[in-house]
């Protein structure tokens, strides 16, 4: 087609989009219809759905802490109890968003009460400024109530504005938490918990142990019997307000199950007596540390177990591991002469010696290339005097009479080289070299307590084999009527014979006269042990002062082992350092248990003479 106006280009026809427009309008109208229909459905016909959704945002599940079981002594006196406390946490993000939310709520309230009226920018700034000042004052007061450093909470908010949870105080007294709650700070939350309290403090600290901030046992009975003590947490359904604060309880979903109470074999009275006397001895002798164990000779119950130094489990600030380990069960030492009664019993029971066998000591004794020495030249000694004078040469001759396997088997039966299995973590097994690796000098040194190692509890347990007529008892920290795992190690005749011999150790010319107990016969043995200095042999001025004994010797009720590490005030012999502690604790314990005296008391006579 020609354009007579001189333009040779052909004009294109205009496209018609009316169809697309109609489709788009139809689609938009359909979407609007669906939305309106859905709104009507939810708000008129199916409004329960929105209510349920609202409830989901207001109704929440809250955990309920379980009450941790009590730890009691054998008479029911509390050693560990749980008290209700509150832990306080914050939501930094919520606190930071609070200013804007408060302004929005204020504007909404203004619109509802005065339609058409709005805050100016200046008014908004003034409202925010006033609100921030009030909030800062409340935060400062909260920090003061909780004993927090100044601006600690503000620093936490500034450092992480996206964080939604942080503890600011744990295990707070409920009275203080109520004062904090009265401040009505947005983003501050309160959770009920339990805090462990130990009424006897450092007296039973090593035995009972302690829990952490989450109420989980960390040491002692608390850790060893965690599964029994901890219980099972519950949960409840609660209603929260828009600020996430609990405003009402709906129902308990699961009831918490309290932990079980544990009744220990410990007698709190004897425990305190032992703690006091051991503390006095450590201070008087300038000792590094010490342990003391009181055991029931008839069934293996531990009636007291104390250590020095100790700690206060109610205030564990700056606590060091060296303070809270239970040395009586975890620390080992070479027992020295305290094992000599077992060598004599083994030799006597096996028929290798008799009570009348004579041992020629003469001050030194050659064993291969080595020499065994006594402190003095005792000359000829019978079996009783070997124990009374604590002759290394005498017990060496006994040990060399016995086959290595037999000698080793007696030590093994006594529990040396095996854990006492009292139920606490970290219990020592000690050391006992296999008899196949023994040389003659090994037998000699082991006969007077070197070359093997034990804990105080292991040593106390071994003495039950002498105290209960040859029966070795298992160890228990839980109260029980009788031992269900007794083992015979020696004959009753041999055990009684050795006990009678050990009574002479407590005589005036024996090595442990300071261990005597007025009104009661005592059988025991001292040990003065040079401390090992590793590859350099043994130290010439560092000792373990040890005493192990029982009373009444005629029918033993109690066994006490005292071990004092590195006494440095001048005396270091077991008979002068540890035996007096034994005497004081045994005297008090026998009277507390109403054990009848088995000999005439001399103390009243002495007191009468002193007053004349």
> Residue 302's beta-bridge partner residues?
295
Q: Is residue 293 very low, low, confident or very high in pLDDT (cuts 50, 70, 90)?
A: very high
Inter-residue contact 531 to 301 (CB < 8 Å): no
Give the closest residue to 516 by CA, choosing from 593, 430, 436, 599. 599
Quote the CA–CA distance of 532 and 321 in Å, as a whole number.
Answer: 23
Tokens 């009975």, residue?
A: 221
Choosing from 265, 337, 453, 578, the catalytic residue is 337
Q: Which pLDDT score is estimated for 533?
A: 78
Quote the CA–CA distance of 160 and 79 in Å, as a whole number.
Answer: 42
Question: Cα separations (Å) of 597 from 43, 325, 517, 576, 587?
Answer: 90, 36, 10, 24, 10
DSSP state of 454: B
Domains observed in the chain: 61-263 (3.90.1310.10), 268-312+326-611 (3.40.710.10)
Better pLDDT: 1 or 531: 531
Residue 605, pLDDT > 60, answer: no
What is the mean predicted confidence (pLDDT) over 482-501?
A: 95
DSSP state of 308: E
How does pLDDT run across 70-79, given as a tens digit for each residue? 999 999 999 9
Inter-residue contact 349 to 494 (CB < 8 Å): yes
Better pLDDT: 337 or 90: 337
CA angle, 90 then 92 then 96, to 5°: 130
Q: Is residue 101 very low, low, confident or very high in pLDDT (cuts 50, 70, 90)?
A: low
Better pLDDT: 149 or 496: 496
Contacts of 601 (CB under 8 A, 6+ apart): 518, 519
Residue 263, pLDDT > 50, answer: yes
Instruction: Give the helix ranges, DSSP H, for 481-553.
Output: 492-503
Quote the CA–CA distance of 67 and 229 in Å, as a whole number.
Answer: 9
Q: Which pLDDT score is estimated for 612?
A: 31
How does pLDDT run across 110-141, given as a tens digit for each residue? 566 666 656 676 766 776 777 777 878 888 88
CA angle, 319 then 320 then 325, to 5°: 110
Q: Is residue 609 very low, low, confident or very high in pLDDT (cuts 50, 70, 90)?
A: very low
Quote the CA–CA distance of 587 and 602 in Å, as a whole number.
Answer: 13
Identify the three-state secondary structure at position 138: helix
Give the closest residue to 124 by CA, choosing from 146, 147, 149, 102. 102
Choice among 105-119, 280-294, 509-523 with the minimum mean pLDDT: 105-119
Q: Is residue 405 very low, low, confident or very high in pLDDT (cuts 50, 70, 90)?
A: very high
Q: Which pLDDT score is estimated for 4?
A: 44
Q: 514 phi and psi, to 5 degrees? A: -70, -5
Give the closest residue to 477 by CA, choosing from 465, 463, 460. 460
Q: Which pLDDT score is estimated for 369?
A: 92
Quote the CA–CA distance of 12 and 10 in Å, as a whole number.
Answer: 6
- Dihedral sign from CA coordinates of 110, 244, 195, 249: positive
Q: 258 phi and psi, to 5 degrees? A: -65, 150
CA count, 13 A, side-chain hemisphere, 88: 25
> Among this protein's residues, is 337 annotated catalytic?
yes
Quote the CA–CA distance of 578 and 512 in Å, as a whole number.
Answer: 9
Choice among 68-82, 93-107, 186-200, 506-520 with the minimum mean pLDDT: 93-107
Instruction: Give the helix ranges, DSSP H, for 114-173.
Output: 121-146, 152-159
């Amino acid at each position: 087609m020609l354009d007579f106006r001189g333009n040779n280009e052909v004009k294109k026809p205009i496209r018609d989009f009316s169809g697309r427009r109609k489709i788009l309008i139809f689609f938009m109208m359909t979407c609007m219809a669906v939305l309106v229909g859905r709104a009507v459905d939810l708000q008129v016909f199916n409004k329960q759905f929105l209510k349920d959704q609202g409830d989901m945002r207001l109704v929440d599940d809250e955990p309920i802490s379980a009450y941790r079981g009590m730890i009691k002594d054998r008479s029911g006196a509390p050693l560990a109890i749980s008290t209700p406390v509150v832990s306080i946490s914050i939501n930094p993000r919520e606190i930071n968003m609070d200013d804007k939310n408060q302004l929005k709520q204020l504007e909404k309230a203004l619109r509802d009460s005065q339609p058409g009226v709005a805050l100016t920018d200046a008014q908004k700034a003034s409202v925010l400024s006033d609100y921030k000042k009030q909030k800062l004052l409340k935060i400062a007061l909260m920090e003061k109530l909780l004993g927090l450093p100044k601006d600690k909470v503000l620093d936490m908010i500034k450092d992480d504005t996206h964080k939604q949870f942080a503890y600011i105080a744990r295990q707070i007294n409920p009275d203080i938490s109520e004062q904090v709650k009265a401040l009505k700070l947005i983003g501050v939350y309160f959770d009920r918990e339990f805090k462990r309290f130990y009424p006897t403090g450092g007296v039973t600290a090593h035995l009972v142990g302690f829990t952490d901030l989450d109420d989980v046992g960390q040491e002692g009975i608390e850790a060893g019997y965690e599964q029994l003590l901890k219980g099972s947490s519950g949960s409840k359904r609660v209603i929260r307000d828009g600020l996430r604060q609990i405003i009402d309880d709906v129902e308990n979903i699961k009831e918490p199950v309290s932990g079980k109470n544990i009744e220990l074999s410990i007698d709190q009275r004897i425990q305190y007596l032992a703690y006091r006397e051991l503390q006095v001895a450590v201070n008087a002798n300038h000792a590094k540390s010490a342990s003391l164990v009181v055991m029931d000779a008839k069934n293996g119950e531990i009636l007291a177990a104390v250590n020095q130094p100790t700690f206060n489990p109610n205030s564990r600030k700056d606590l060091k591991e060296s303070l809270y380990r239970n040395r009586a069960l975890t620390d080992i030492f070479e027992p020295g002469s305290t094992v000599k009664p077992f060598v004599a019993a083994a030799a006597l029971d096996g028929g290798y010696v008799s009570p009348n066998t004579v041992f020629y000591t003469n001050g030194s004794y050659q064993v291969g290339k080595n020499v065994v020495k006594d402190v003095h030249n005792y000359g000829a000694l019978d079996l009783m005097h070997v124990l009374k004078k604590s002759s290394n040469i005498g017990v060496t001759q006994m040990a060399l009479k016995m086959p290595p396997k037999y000698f080793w088997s007696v030590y093994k039966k006594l529990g040396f080289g095996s854990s006492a299995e009292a139920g606490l973590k970290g219990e020592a097994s000690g050391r006992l070299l296999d008899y196949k690796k023994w040389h003659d000098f090994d037998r000699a040194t082991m006969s007077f307590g070197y070359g093997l190692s034990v804990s105080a509890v292991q040593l106390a347990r071994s003495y039950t084999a002498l105290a209960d007529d040859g029966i070795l008892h298992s160890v228990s920290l839980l109260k029980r009527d009788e031992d269900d795992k007794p083992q015979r190690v020696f004959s009753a005749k041999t055990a009684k014979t050795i006990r009678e011999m050990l009574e002479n150790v407590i005589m005036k010319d024996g090595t442990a006269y300071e261990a005597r107990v007025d009104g009661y016969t005592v059988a025991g043995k001292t040990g003065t042990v040079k401390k090992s200095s590793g590859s350099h042999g043994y130290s010439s001025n560092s000792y373990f002062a040890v005493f192990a004994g029982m009373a009444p010797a005629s029918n033993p009720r109690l066994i006490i082992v005292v071990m004092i590490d590195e006494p440095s005030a001048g005396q270091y012999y077991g008979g002068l350092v540890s035996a007096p502690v034994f005497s004081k604790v045994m005297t008090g314990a026998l009277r507390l248990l109403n054990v009848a005296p088995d000999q005439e008391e001399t103390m009243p006579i002495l007191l009468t003479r002193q007053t004349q």
